[in-house]
A = this chain, B = another copy of it.
Amino acid sequence: MVQFVHPARGDITLEGVLAALADPMRLRIVKVLLGQADCLSCTAAAPCPDMAKSTLSNHFRVLREAGLIRTTKKGVENRNTVREADINARFPGLLKAILKHAGE
């Protein structure tokens, strides 16, 4: 069974968060996820409908390893949500300040 790696809140680094968000596709994924009340599958949160599954998986992995999202298995689907509380506790105001300018 696939085990997802999620850093503990205290292990989330500023550099890691910035590097993970330094990509237009990943910025869009985080924006889409934040706009949802519920978790989303990778496909539902995809920034483009025709993105290769491997590319999409890679973007989600980068976001997960940076501590930006949490992925859980639900049946055959991976469900994703932004770790908003963790990021905001670690770096107050950062996520909002970055996402405000995403997609300009």
Contact = CB atoms under 8 A, between A and B. Distances in A.
Interface of A: 14-16, 18-19, 21-24, 27, 91, 93-94, 96-98, 100-102, 104
Nearest to A100: B93
A14 B102 contact: yes
A97 B14 CA distance: 11
A15 B24 contact: yes
A34 to B, nearest CB: 16
Contact of A23 (B15, B21, B93, B104): B15
* Listed residue (A18, A93, A96, A101) with the most chain B CB atoms within 10 angstroms of its CB: A18
A22 B100 CA distance: 18
A22 B19 contact: yes
